[in-house]
A and B are shown apart, each in its own frame.
Chain A
Amino acid sequence: MSETLPATGLLGASWLLIALPLAGAAVLLLGGRRTDRWGHLLGTGTVVAAFVLGLACTVQLAGLDERSVDVDLFTFLQTGSLDVRAGLLFDPLSAVFVLLITGVGALIHVYSIGYMAHDPARRRFFAYLNLFVAAMLLLVLGNSYVALYVGWEGVGLASYLLIAFWYTRPAAATAAKKAFVMNRVGDVGLALAVFVMFAQLGTTSYAGVLGNVGLLAGGTVTALGLLLLLGACGKSGQFPLQAWLPDAMEGPTPVSALIHAATMVTAGVYLIARSAPIYDASPTARTVVLAIGAITLMIGAIAGCAQDDIKKVLAYSTVSQIGYMFLAVGLGPVGYVAGLAHLLTHGFFKAGLFLGAGSVMHGMGEQTDMRRYGGLAGKMKITFVTFGLGYLALIGFPLLSGYWTKDAIIEAALDRGGVSGWLLAGVAVLGAGLTAFYMTRLMLLTFFGRPRWEGVDGNPPPTPHESPGVMTVPMIVLAVGSVAAGFLLVRVFPLADWLAPVFGPEAEAAEHVLPPLLVSVLVTLVVALGALVAWLFVGRREVPVIAPVRVSPVVRAARQALYADVVNESLLMRPGMWLTRALVFVDNRGVDGVVNGAAAALGGSSSRLGRVQTGFVRSYALGMLGGAVVIAGALVAVTAG
């Protein structure tokens, strides 16, 4: 960590970055129906304003010598020896994220104006979007792990609200709950990490924690690294907590683009990149990051190959691409920049792809099954071109964004050397081939071939049409980004130089295992092979409208996303339910049983005693006589005895 400067000038107002969208959300939520007419404009305006401010702050930051500014705001917590200040840290890393979140976020807001035009609850949608952007900005701008945690939970809340936006659909409500619960599993890890920091170092600020990693015992550092990784896995949909992300596609499509492509899922990568000194000090934790990245990228790629829902394919693609980023940041100093560069370009092309998918769905009457698409290239020209550019960028077509950043990750993995280097690079290359396969399949099913959308299930056939300009313009902007961002970030304005104050000067590998050009050619060949296989399997044949049932076990496993849900259910959910049932049983029968039993015993015996009161006066008289005789007898016995 380099020295931080007190905030001056415009940077002192960087808290407005968070306050603007938050104020927008507050006005829209509290204003109610009165804001219906102009709510979407306010919501978009706050994010655009935040983007402009973020840009200005970044420009000012670039002019400083020490590119790291601390904005102290107020005391957040003070109890005993514990003193947590709320403050912002504006440095190159957070600046990159601020620009990505507000930039892509603003485009998605604009797109949503058109996409949600017919939804009666559009104002509420924009309120939640603004809340999300505010929480995400707090997450990346906070100067301590506590501030990050607040943003982290805010993001979780906003994503829950957005996924369940159409809460009358049972699938959406369930998906939101699933996302919330699985995120909570990860959040426990992050919370425990924060507790460990309090206990061991007495502080949670980045400066205090990351500057003093050397004071901690080795085991503590590893534990911190693994706990933070658990949090990152939950938020970023990484193995073993990846199952929530594809289900979260039940939300409106702009939500998928904003949350599950460009911003929220990258929070895990941010967390690990921000905590770089911890991972630098613990090779074990770093190896686990690597392994999780590699496993997830394969799981996502395999599952993506067999999905028929266009958004699910993109969701698994996201899981897979974030696996690449984890792999990259797990490689250590050589990989941080590569991973973040891929994160940025992925933000562009995946947001563009999701918006394109939303445009297709918009034109096809909310149909998401790709088997019901086909031949849409001529009907939606702008969507086709922008989606196609995003597709090419994602699979790593030479000179487009994905090519620059994905190849950088593969090279970094190879340069690790040894068996593990070859293995990781092999997995990454194989993943690139699979990516090409499933994305080509998606393109062929959606835009090429015979139209398969005539009259489904007795409904009138949809009338495919191009989306309005308010939706296509953001798609065009993102497509331009998909094409150019990689080249710009790697060659023109090298991200490595910009991030140098955070990660130190780029560690150039002493010697490349394979020349970079050869790696690029190899990867491109594998990608071409994947696309070719997709054409052989999908493009050449007639596509059945109903998914075939008799398929090989591999396809069946891929359709089930490698049985992630089944594993979760049988390993965690069912034992949990059994435990709950056992506890409920003990509570009902054991605890309640003792209390209720005592009351019932008393009540029963009293009512039985009451039967003695028969109402026959003569029996009472007999009782009195008997009693008198007993007393008299006792007196006689006592006196005589």
Chain B
Amino acid sequence: MSIANYLVLAAVLFTIGAVGVLVRRNAIVVFMCVELMLNSVNLTLVTFARSTGTLDGQLIAFFVMVVAAAEVVVGLAIIMSIYRTRRSASVDDANLLKY
């Protein structure tokens, strides 16, 4: 099976994730889209690791997963806290940090 299929799938997933981050307002959905982009990258890394026969890519994929898990913990906590104070999970409402 050619690696092109994997790469195309990864590109599609990444695009869906990126578009989701840009167009959705709900913080939870934006968060899931970010996860989607991370996992598409993981897929790319693993694909190349398999095709070159080295373990570097797989190693980095594990790192990404660990970081993603930590990020989810912190991110969800922030979203919870914002939701409690503002009664909204829209990312556009949380725009106080500006000029």
Contact = CB atoms under 8 A, between A and B. Distances in A.
Please say whether chains A and B are actual partners in one complex. Answer: yes
A624 to B, nearest CB: 10
A613 B98 CA distance: 5
A615 B95 CA distance: 4
A615 B22 contact: no
Interface string A608-636: 00111111111001100100000000000
A609 to B, nearest CB: 9
A613 B96 CA distance: 10
B22 A622 contact: yes
B21 A615 contact: no
Contacts of A617: 30, 91, 94-95
A613 B22 contact: no
Nearest to B21: A621
Q: How large is the interface on A (under 10, 10 to 19, 20 to 34, 35 or more residues)?
A: 10 to 19
A615 B96 contact: yes
Nearest to B91: A617
Contacts of A616: 91-92, 95
A344 to B, nearest CB: 85
Contact of A614 (B22, B25, B91, B95): B95
Interface in A582-624: 607, 610-618, 621-622
Contacts of B96: 615
Contacts of A615: 95-99
B28 interface: no
A622 B25 CA distance: 14
Contacts of A607: 99
B25 to A, nearest CB: 8
A611 B99 CA distance: 6
A618 B22 contact: yes
B80 interface: no
A1 B93 CA distance: 101
Interface residues of B, number: 14
Interface string B72-99: 0000000000000000000110111111
B49 interface: no
A610 B92 contact: no
Nearest to B34: A621
Contacts of A614: 95, 98-99
A314 B28 CA distance: 102
Given A618-B91, A618-B92, A613 B99 contact: yes
A612, A613, A617, A622 — which one has the most chain B CB atoms within 10 A of its CB? A617
B99 A625 contact: no
A615 B22 CA distance: 14
A613 to B, nearest CB: 5
B64 interface: no
B7 interface: no
B88 to A, nearest CB: 14
A622 to B, nearest CB: 6
A607 B99 CA distance: 8
B18 interface: yes
Interface in B5-60: 18, 21-23, 25, 30
Nearest to A612: B99
B72 to A, nearest CB: 17
Interface string A346-368: 00000000000000000000000
Contacts of B99: 607, 610-615
Contacts of B18: 625
Contacts of B22: 618, 621-622, 625
Contacts of A613: 98-99
B64 to A, nearest CB: 17
Contacts of A625: 18, 22
A614 B95 CA distance: 7
A612 to B, nearest CB: 8
A528 B22 CA distance: 114
A622 B24 CA distance: 12
A382 B96 CA distance: 94
A126 B96 CA distance: 74
Contacts of A610: 99
Nearest to B18: A625
Nearest to A618: B22
B54 to A, nearest CB: 21
A607 B22 CA distance: 27
A614 B99 CA distance: 7
Nearest to A621: B21
Contacts of A611: 99
Contacts of B98: 613-615
Nearest to A609: B99
A612 B98 CA distance: 9
A617 B97 CA distance: 10
A334 to B, nearest CB: 90
A628 to B, nearest CB: 10
Contacts of B23: 618
A615 B25 CA distance: 14
A403 B72 CA distance: 118
Nearest to B97: A615
B13 to A, nearest CB: 15
A625 B21 CA distance: 10
A92 B92 CA distance: 102
A506 B23 CA distance: 116
Contacts of B91: 616-618
A479 B84 CA distance: 106
B21 A618 contact: yes
A615 B94 CA distance: 8
Interface in A112-163: none
A636 to B, nearest CB: 15
A610 B97 CA distance: 12
The 9 A-B pairs at the shortest CB distance, nearest first, are namely: A615-B98, A615-B95, A610-B99, A613-B99, A617-B91, A613-B98, A621-B21, A616-B95, A615-B97
20 contacts: A610-B99, A612-B99, A613-B98, A614-B95, A615-B95, A615-B96, A615-B97, A615-B99, A616-B91, A616-B92, A616-B95, A617-B94, A617-B95, A618-B21, A618-B22, A618-B25, A618-B91, A618-B92, A621-B21, A625-B22
Given A615-B97, A615-B99, A618-B21, 20 more contacts: A610-B99, A613-B98, A613-B99, A614-B95, A615-B96, A616-B91, A616-B92, A616-B95, A617-B91, A617-B94, A617-B95, A618-B22, A618-B23, A618-B25, A618-B30, A618-B91, A621-B21, A621-B22, A625-B18, A625-B22
Interface of A: 607, 610-618, 621-622, 625
